[in-house]
């Protein structure tokens, strides 16, 4: 008998993901591996800026200056995503906002009931794709200038299972990757082409990239569009994986040493494609904490960047802007 999730079951899947993310806001543990942040005399081998959430506020780390700046002003600031030019950071809550780090100004892009999250900028900077959890849930696009919205006609609660979420535009804007429960109730990574986001479209052609035991989500394109990093629980703990953009050569690159309730989540690529940042949740003496780590795509040169906590990193892909 084919299993097809109900609306409530799909909401439950989304709620479980949100719980996993919110666990990262608990106090962080102190006993992590070697951290570059501890050695103030060492220059970071990274370029650009990294944004991440901590205790439901946003922080931006400038690798050139080693300065970390905190931004608040809206309750529960999560899911940050840099604009293509590096001037704005979109983030979600029940609404989608844009933060301008140079001034600290926060602009509401739109307001709606229920939960809007996972904003992903289109490479041309004119629109965002985002996940909506509620009646009519799925992936939407919104024009950041006009506020006009369009729900992508991706199948949901039908042959392919539940509602799609975690949208991620390819660097050339021709494809959109996202996560969605399959017929067996396991969340997998799919892609569709950009025509799916056109307002006159009534259906989308999908390609399923992953098919493994466990849950798989958080697709992140490499800067050249040739690879996708993602999170999966296909082995004992959650880990970060990489695959080619066509779904081939799937392999794990992180090995979390903390055992039960630990995991590695939310990968993001450096602008030059040389590094991947991600959130690592540890479990020591019953205290759970999550911090930002960076490593090369081949799994080498692992180091932590934060000790005070960090979740959902995103690496600036545009020009570095100064801010005070």
**For 265-321, what is each residue's pLDDT tens digit?**
999 999 999 999 999 998 654 434 899 999 999 999 999 998 888 999 999 975 544
How many structural domains comprise the chain? 1
Q: Are 62 and 56 in contact (CB under 8 A)?
A: no
- pLDDT-derived band at 156, boundaries 50, 70, 90: low
On whether residue 62 sits in a domain, the answer given is: yes
On whether residue 204 sits in a domain, the answer given is: yes
pLDDT at 4: 38
On whether residue 278 sits in a domain, the answer given is: yes
Q: Are 149 and 142 in contact (CB under 8 A)?
A: yes
On whether residue 25 sits in a domain, the answer given is: yes
Range of the domain at 123: 7-315
On whether residue 2 sits in a domain, the answer given is: no
The secondary structure of 147-210 as a DSSP string is: --EEE-----SBTTBS--EEEEE-TTSSEEEEEEE-TTS-EEEEEEEGGGGSTT-----EEE--
pLDDT at 22: 45
Which CATH number do you get for residue 14?
2.120.10.30
Average of pLDDT values for 107-136? 91
On whether residue 184 sits in a domain, the answer given is: yes
- pLDDT-derived band at 183, boundaries 50, 70, 90: confident
- pLDDT-derived band at 322, boundaries 50, 70, 90: very low
On whether residue 320 sits in a domain, the answer given is: no
Average of pLDDT values for 155-162? 62
Which of the two residues, 225 and 237, has the higher pLDDT score? 225
pLDDT at 191: 97
- CA–CA dist 83, 317 (Å, integer): 8
Which of the two residues, 183 and 192, has the higher pLDDT score? 192
pTM of the complete model: 0.87
On whether residue 1 sits in a domain, the answer given is: no
**For 61-95, what is each residue's pLDDT tens digit?**
999 888 899 999 988 899 999 999 999 999 987 79
**For 22-70, what is each residue's pLDDT tens digit?**
444 443 433 445 676 667 777 788 999 999 999 889 999 999 888 899 9
Q: Tell which residue, 123, 305, 143, has the closest CA to residue 221.
A: 123
């Amino acid at each position: 008998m084919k299993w097809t999730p109900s609306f409530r079951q799909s909401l439950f899947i989304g709620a479980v993901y949100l719980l996993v993310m919110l666990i990262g806001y608990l106090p962080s543990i102190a006993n992590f591996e070697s951290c570059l942040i501890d050695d103030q005399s060492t220059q970071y081998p990274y370029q650009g800026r990294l944004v991440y959430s901590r205790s439901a506020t946003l922080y931006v780390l400038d690798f050139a200056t080693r300065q970390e700046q905190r931004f608040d002003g809206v309750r529960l600031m999560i899911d940050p995503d840099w604009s293509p030019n590096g001037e704005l950071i979109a983030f979600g809550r029940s609404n989608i906002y844009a933060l301008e780090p140079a001034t600290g100004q926060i602009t509401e892009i739109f307001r709606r009931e229920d939960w809007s999250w996972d904003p992903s900028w289109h490479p041309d900077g004119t629109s965002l794709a985002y996940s909506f959890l509620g009646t009519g849930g799925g992936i939407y696009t919104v024009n950041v200038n006009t506020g006009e919205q369009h729900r992508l006609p991706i199948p949901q609660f039908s042959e392919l299972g539940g509602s799609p979420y975690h949208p991620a535009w390819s660097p050339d804007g021709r494809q959109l990757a996202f996560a969605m429960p399959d017929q067996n109730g396991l969340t997998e990574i799919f892609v569709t082409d950009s025509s799916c986001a056109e307002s006159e479209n009534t259906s989308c052609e999908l390609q399923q990239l992953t098919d493994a035991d466990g849950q798989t989500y958080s697709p992140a394109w490499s800067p050249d569009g040739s690879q996708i990093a993602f999170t999966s629980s296909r082995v004992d703990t959650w880990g970060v994986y990489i695959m080619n953009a066509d779904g081939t050569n799937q392999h794990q690159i992180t090995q979390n040493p903390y055992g039960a309730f630990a995991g590695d989540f939310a990968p993001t690529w450096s602008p030059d494609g040389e590094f991947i940042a991600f959130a690592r949740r540890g479990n020591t003496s019953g205290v759970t904490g999550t911090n930002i780590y960076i490593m090369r795509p081949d799994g080498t040169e692992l180091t932590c960047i934060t000790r005070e906590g960090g979740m959902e990193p995103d690496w600036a892909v545009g020009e570095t802007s100064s801010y005070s």
